[in-house]
Structure 1
Amino acid sequence: MNPLLVKICGQTSQEGARLCATLGANLLGFIFHPGSARFVSPGLPASLKLPGVLKVGVFVEQSVNETAALMRAGRLDLAQLHGGQDRGFCRALGDILGPERIIKVIWPERAANLAGFQAELDEFGPLCGRFLADAGAGGGGHGRGIADAAAKLLAQARFPRPWLLAGGLGPQSIGPALAQFRQGVCPPAGLDLNSGVESAPGIKNETLLREAFAAINAHCAA
């Protein structure tokens, strides 16, 4: 079994989700942000029965109660908070779901220094089960990797929870991205893939997916 967790985000169809699960995805992401080209209703994840695969709802602007309601309607396992939700939001949602079901997104590119970034991790560590580090200074879907200076912060930080690496990851960039953290303090526990394995927004490409998994396997075997 691959030691790295693999999350394929931006699922928009039953067929695409089943393909990703068959190829080895551990987590599937479903985006509930109306502004996204990959926006879906909770009916899609609710209709999927994929043993051993965790279904993740991605939330940006919803309230605590709206997020909890979508989690129930979609029969979702985890909630990914991708809108800069603050400590109070995370605590309130954790009181409903349990903090272990929360993935808190962070943006290392907006950190001024390692001390400030570490303080953010320590602040949210008790309120979530995992972190996800994304490119840019907010939002998602940037289609590029995390900047070098921010990657250095990630490699030096002491994560109180396992974390996933995101940011424009595809077959050609997975190996170099992971290599940055081989000697890091807390290497990533997994990867989050989206646009880098698509032929169009929301349309996962089987060839790119297979190549991505091959790149992950090659890195883990090295």
Structure 2
Amino acid sequence: MRIKICGMSEQRLIDEAAALGVEFCGFVFYEPSPRNVSPRLVASLDTHGMKRVGVFVRQSAEETERIASEAGLDFVQLHGGQSAAFAGRFPAERVIRVLWPGKYSSVQALQQDIDAFADTCGMYLLDAGMGSGRELDWQSLADLSFPHPWFLSGGLGPDNVARALSACSPDGLDFNSKLESSPGRKSGELMEKAVAAVRACASGASDCGRGAADSRKGDRL
């Protein structure tokens, strides 16, 4: 099970995430967000081999390309409903396409967009929307078919990993606001508990999902 922690900005916490075996480290390039970072800051951070993912919302394709180069990103995560033509400016294997199931009138309509973007992305991420801390209807995702690996996001924390994975079968989990001690500030303790919960579920351990700590919801991406 792949693990991604988004909204990172501090070297100490990045060090801790890497030590826990987290595979993807996400950086938010969106000014209204309390998790917003600059390309210069991201370029200065050592992610210890974790894949570097940039979250983009309003930037043009040209600005996205510039930031991706300056920050040394491995992936661009398109969180703003960017078109297939926009995504086509990047190698497909470097694009994470974000979709919001709650915006679709039916599972069939969501499946149509999953299929439509297949040629311009290498992975998908299904989210409840802009780091709101809300959970998706996980059961409704169970019958979707993905041509590429996909991440489940939206209100995930140590306390609900087991429920999420019992309802659907993502290739990875994307954590953000539920692992924070305050908006924009990750908690090393919550990161450790979340990773432990994922590992327990992946191994089929009987204590999968136990030992969760309370976490605070963020208000934005």
What TM-score do the two structures reach when normalised by structure 2? 0.89
1:55–1:76 Cα contact (<8 Å) kept: yes
Does residue 35 of structure 2 align to residue 48 of structure 1? no
2:126–2:153 Cα contact (<8 Å) kept: yes
Distance 1:44 1:29 in 2: 13
Distance 1:114 1:170 in 2: 25
2:152 alignment partner in structure 1: 165
- The 5 A counterparts of 1:71-110 are 71-91=68-88, 93-94=89-90, 98-110=91-103
Q: How many residues align?
A: 204
Find 1:142's aligned residue among 132, 147, 155. 132
Whose helix proportion is higher, 1 or 2?
1
- The 5 A counterparts of 1:164-183 are 164-181=151-168
Distance 1:51 1:16 in 2: 12
1:168–1:195 Cα contact (<8 Å) kept: yes
Find 1:112's aligned residue among 105, 126, 131. 105
Does residue 50 of structure 2 align to residue 57 of structure 1? no
Secondary structure in structure 2 of the residue aligned to 1:117? helix
1:13–1:44 Cα contact (<8 Å) kept: no
1:169–1:194 Cα contact (<8 Å) kept: yes
2:123 alignment partner in structure 1: 130
- Percent identity for Structure 1 against Structure 2: 43
One-letter code aligned to 2:54: G
1:108–1:153 Cα contact (<8 Å) kept: no
Shift of 1:168: 0.8
Find 1:200's aligned residue among 182, 206, 209. 182
Distance 1:60 1:7 in 2: 18
1:79–1:101 Cα contact (<8 Å) kept: yes
One-letter code aligned to 2:162: G
Shift of 1:160: 1.0
Secondary structure in structure 2 of the residue aligned to 1:156? coil
Unaligned runs of 5+ in 2: 205-221
What TM-score do the two structures reach when normalised by structure 1? 0.88
2:97–2:121 Cα contact (<8 Å) kept: yes
Moved over 6 A (4+): none
Distance 1:38 1:60 in 2: 13
